[in-house]
Chain A
């Protein structure tokens, strides 16, 4: 059984259908990229997987997350799946974190939840040790200071590392990352990609990685689905799709990405 099995997923907006029947699966430890431009439906597809569509949007079809149907389930039924099976890292760590809660308290939430789920007692010292361990896991150099800090007191890269630590602390088997490096500086982006790469390998995580940035997707995923106007137009190994695209739309995207790269390469 696949870790994630999506069959004929449709997402309806208030006025019209936004995703028109997409199907794919993600196996344990596999890394799948969803690529497309704004409005392609890639984020809607990813959010449908964890039942996090915004109000006014409705998903239809089948999404099996570790064998459990997500579509049509109540939030209450989905809570145990979120975190234990799939966790999400969003584009903007500034809005994903609670601005009124210290980072240490926020990181404590998934740690406590996981302990409860696993029936483990969690005393203050153990909690502290786990907080520090997760911050170390995402290569944060001064964890003590970060735990005491408010989100606005740390850099964008550090916020995103904390958000990743929170996602991982849930103990998921699938990490859904929605443009996780788009809001970051180039140098920070490279560090966060290295980090996700290491974590996925070390923790045996599957990755559903959503991005408009082809080189970034090439760096981190094995297989890719190209989306346009709510449809999958091409799918295959990332090396193949990005070097020998078959679909006309994909060819245009790849050509544009190469044109930008040529500007830099041509001079080096």
Chain B
């Protein structure tokens, strides 16, 4: 009894303080530093004034907004048509197309940049095509938008697939009964119901692009953006104050997008009632054929980009000598110290998967299902959602400022694997937390009450009932952490040390050194690793579901 009292409050307190130390304090540090000079004295808005007066930074801000807006404008319609084809037409092999569309998640965002350099770069095979589109070179804005559209596509598609999956057939029947044309029906029924999904997808794409580091680094040419500036300020010039200012500027659009999205989501709820009848598309030969062609084209694009990088990593000297070689892998592993980086990435991703899934799921359980210390819960929920609004770059700067502060006893963490794991878990906490909460909410809300009446402590019910029932979700969360830890650059680029350098970061180094083949090799290796882990974890989930289907079936009728 006393043990249970302590376990309930202790769990909450631990989670709350962990989020406070590894999220809120670093961000608070960012605020404080932006108002200080190098000596630590308060200077008010002087740093911001200097920022505005620096023409290069103002230019970067403008460039960043252009880049993010264009990316959003390209990827949202592209993803909407794709999701529409999957959810609202009768094309064949929907599962395959959907899987292909989600492939970019397995790759670091800069993989697409590497592929586009192979295709359209200075030695690109299709370079001659560029003038057709009125472009001089792929480097700069065009390449960035193309690569970023690739990286953001699966995220936009997932949101739009979800929002288009919910449709009330009765509305369509009513529209048909009143003799509405197909266009009118689309404008009055389909679009309004997908409106919130569109806003959400746009916000996600925009936020990702604003804070993207890898893509502009590799293919940005002379088109400076804020993410690059902030890196130069902090790592290059050790100007933490200006870094903090740029970090806050980066945070602004993300926070605005997050708030808009949250407001829109709140209005979404009433759209579908329990009495809605699910909509099932009917065959329409011409429409289905057109959409199939579109979906095949997009899938070819997604596969093509990935395969281009993979292919490039296996040829001797692109594009002049296309004979097969493992030299790039050998070079990377033997001379560029990549073996070490790859091993670090595996360790880091593994730790994130195990520790992250455990903390996230247990944390969500403690917040949602235990009793007592109710004042702590809103604070934890808010902090759990905060990472969604914080770009990785901003989190990374916050970490540098906070964990590098000499008076902070936690400086021992600086430069260790632990800080990489912590920052990555925090960076991807929100989605994981939401996944866990959704799964927990599907459980009967009275399990804990029944346990209490039977005098079984809640943590016993957690291990005996909750975890076994939610095991597939826990594995989902672990996989999400693993894949993101393999591919992420944004936060960790500020935090790695020579001993803890990571695979995705080593791509940047090799690209900078001009070893694009080795860079492609590393990117390919990351995709392959993520893919294997994904397939294995899905297989495990499948086995679990099969073995436990006796009790997972929904209840038979009375």
A, B from the same assembly: no
